[in-house]
Amino acid sequence: MFENKRIGVIGAGVMGKALINGLLHSGHVQFTQVWASVKSESSQKKLSEAADYPVYTDFSDEIGKTDIFLVCTKPRYVAGVLDLLKDSGKLKPGCLIVSIAAGVTISRMKEHLGPSVALIRAMPNTPCKINEGITVYSPAAGVSTEHKAIAQSIFSSVGQVIELDEVHLDAVTAVSGSGPAYIFLIMESLADGGVRVGLPRDVALQLVSQTVLGSAKMLQLAGKHPAALKDEVTTPAGSTIAALLTMEDGKIRSVLARAVEEATRTARGLGNA
């Protein structure tokens, strides 16, 4: 699928590097097929020292040689990147552009690229760094089966992949894109609670991290609603129900659900920044 194809990653930050590493470690591509770009010379120097692929601050000479562009910049930089690609006049016929920028819609990108360029919008998350991510992607109308298969293969190299209509992408950003931060905050709070009642912090963190990992695996494998799994832990007059009622006093359900709602609203506006 990637044979004789060149891939450019524009914005080799956390997610850009994760995608490159996933592709390379999966064996889908070789080092010679990849290039990356960063904004500053200091970032270029740092990444070049660790990478076996070329890293540029000015990638204009690579545009005409590239078949797949992964745009991994912050949302506010996407328009400038797309204008640069379009104005270069070097885009290869049939090339594919995949953007992971939150809130930047396909229609907005087409304003800069024109209607004929194959576009896919995607939202991965940071567990892609350890090949445990999940990515949702949405192809523009008319994107070929081959291009969708390429996107599927890119993101499956770093975790699970779902194809959804673009209307869901802002909600996906709020749930899974931002989700690791919510989980880390919850984990930190539980560990703090453990320290408060006498556990060493390293032990508390180990207990919390393995509990979250095991609980997530149970949810994936059990085929049950989370409420059913919760009830299996909650014995009459026990410590778990006491803790759960305390959480409900703090409106934890509402706070988490409203957080997702607010994150969705914010993500929707990022493309207009």
Both 152 and 197 in a single domain? Answer: no
Q: Where are the beta strands (DSSP E) in 111-174?
A: 118-123, 133-139, 159-163
Spatial contact of 148 and 181, defined as CB atoms under 8 Å apart: no
In a domain, 171, yes or no: no
Residue pLDDT, tens place only, 147-173 = 999 999 999 999 999 999 999 999 999
**What kind and span of H or E run contains 8?**
strand 7-10
Judged by DSSP in three states, 3 sits in: coil
Q: Tell me if 120 sits within 8 A of 139, measured CB to CB.
A: yes
194/93 same-domain check: no
Report whether 138 contacts 164 (CB < 8 A).
yes
End-to-end CA gap in the chain = 36
Torsion region of 117: left, alpha or beta (phi above 0 gives left; psi -120 to 50 gives alpha): beta
* Residue from 7, 45, 59, 58 nearest 29 by CA: 7
Query: Is the same domain home to 255 and 133?
Result: no
Q: Which domain holds residue 181?
A: 177-270
| Helix 75-88 / helix 106-113 crossing angle, nearest 10 deg | 30
Query: Is there a domain that residue 195 lies in?
Result: yes
Domains: count for the chain:
2
Please say whether the beta carbons of 160 and 133 come within 8 A: yes
Averages of pLDDT over runs of 10 residues in the chain (273 residues) are 94 96 94 96 93 95 97 96 96 96 96 93 98 98 96 97 97 98 98 98 98 97 96 97 97 97 95 70
Same domain, 23 and 105: yes
Number of other CB atoms surrounding residue 92 within 10 Å: 13
> Looking at residue 273, what is its pLDDT?
59
Predicted model pTM: 0.93
**pLDDT of the residue at 272:** 75
- Note whether 156 and 186 are same-domain residues: no
Beta pairing class for 68-71 and 133-139: unpaired
Domain end, chosen from 166, 187, 221, is at: 166
Q: Tell me, yes or no, whether 110 and 212 share the same domain.
A: no
Q: Does residue 177 contact residue 125 with C-beta atoms inside 8 Å?
A: yes
pLDDT tens for 233-262 read 999 999 999 999 999 999 999 999 999 999
The three-state secondary structure class of 162 is strand
Instruction: State the Cα torsion 110-114-118-119 to the nearest 10°.
Output: -10
Residues 108 and 234 in one domain: no
228 burial level (CB within 10 Å; 0-12, 13-18, 19+): exposed
CATH value at residue 209? 1.10.3730.10
Whether 2 maps to a domain, the answer reads no
- Total residue length of the chain: 273
Q: Position of tokens 């049939």?
A: 94
